[in-house]
């Protein structure tokens, strides 16, 4: 007897929990597993529909009474650096970029811990140990790279120093900056912004049209930096919208109920390879 099994991914919803970005709000996520031979295809398709990757899971905010989390991306061809961006590029010109396969190192973890303690001591990753960190970096079923930024030795008695790191997915239509961290002691160097600018440069060289930044949350100080980039688009209502003036997107405009989960799932577009039947 032959049985037909669907290749299409199954979607689930997390239990409500406190929002990490906005006070007095509750978050909920719609998610699906990312695995198997078609993982890259699924990652490409859902990234284009506002999803983000975390290890072997793809997720998208699906809060009951809030639409504040807006998936954001930069149009590489239309991006023009501001004067402040050019200043940041010059300030960090000393850094050497090194892109490697997704493999965790002790130096990465030490920098990661220093970053969390300075920037996100009360965040969800604050208790992450070295094994969990290794899983975050290495457990990827898709095309991923660890992009390291290294400061040169200052003299003959010193060594090069790992200064910033970004875990990056290579999509069909761009680069997705999954997670980044840097030396908080170099705050004046604007390393977070520099990594985005450098990824724009990488995408230009590779002729990839977009840089996926993750979620921008109007009203959250943690996310304000994303709104400072030009050629920005946000995903809303099932399509990408050009945002000429990020200031026009107010928090009170995103305080609206989401569609019911069945309607959200029904609206997700999947590639043909994932809607066929496996026998």
Domains of the chain: 5-278 (3.40.630.30)
Mean pLDDT is lowest, of 26-40, 59-73, 116-130, for 116-130
For the stretch 154-190, pLDDT in tens is 876 678 999 999 999 999 999 999 999 999 999 899 9
Burial of residue 138 (CB within 10 Å: 0-12, 13-18, 19+) is: middle
Q: Torsions phi, psi of 67, nearest 5? A: -125, 35
160 vs 162: CA distance, rounded Å: 7
Query: pLDDT tens, 105-162?
Result: 999 999 999 999 988 767 677 788 999 999 999 999 999 999 999 999 887 667 899 9
CA atoms of 232 and 154, how far apart (whole Å)? 37
Give 72's pLDDT tier (boundaries 50, 70, 90). very high
**Of 170, 97, 178, nearest to 136 (Cα)?**
178
**Residue that wins the pLDDT comparison between 251 and 102:** 102
């Amino acid at each position: 007897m032959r049985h037909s099994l669907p290749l299409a991914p199954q979607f689930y919803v997390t239990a409500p929990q406190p929002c990490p970005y906005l006070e007095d709000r509750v978050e909920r996520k719609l998610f699906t597993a990312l695995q198997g031979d078609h993982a890259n295809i699924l990652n490409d398709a859902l990234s284009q529909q506002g999803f983000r990757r975390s290890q072997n899971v793809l997720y998208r905010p699906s809060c009951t009474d809030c639409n504040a989390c807006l998936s954001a991306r930069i149009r590489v061809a239309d991006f023009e650096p501001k004067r402040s961006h050019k200043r940041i590029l010059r300030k960090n010109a000393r850094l050497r970029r090194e892109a490697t396969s997704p493999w965790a190192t002790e130096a990465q973890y030490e920098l990661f811990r220093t970053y969390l303690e300075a920037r996100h001591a009360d965040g969800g990753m604050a208790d992450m140990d070295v094994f969990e960190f290794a899983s975050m970096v290495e457990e990827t079923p898709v095309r991923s790279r660890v992009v390291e930024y290294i400061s040169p030795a200052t003299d003959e008695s010193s060594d090069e120093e790992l200064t910033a790191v970004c875990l990056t997915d290579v999509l069909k239509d761009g680069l997705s900056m999954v997670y980044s961290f840097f030396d908080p002691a170099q705050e004046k160097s604007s390393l977070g912004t520099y990594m985005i600018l450098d990824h724009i440069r990488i995408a230009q060289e590779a002729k990839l049209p977009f840089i996926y930044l993750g979620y921008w949350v109007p009203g959250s100080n943690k996310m304000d930096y994303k709104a400072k980039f030009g050629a920005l688009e946000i995903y809303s209502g099932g399509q990408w919208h050009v945002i000429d003036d990020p200031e026009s997107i107010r928090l009170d405009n995103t305080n609206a109920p989401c569609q019911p989960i069945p309607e959200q799932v029904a609206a997700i577009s999947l590639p043909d390879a994932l809607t066929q039947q496996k026998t």
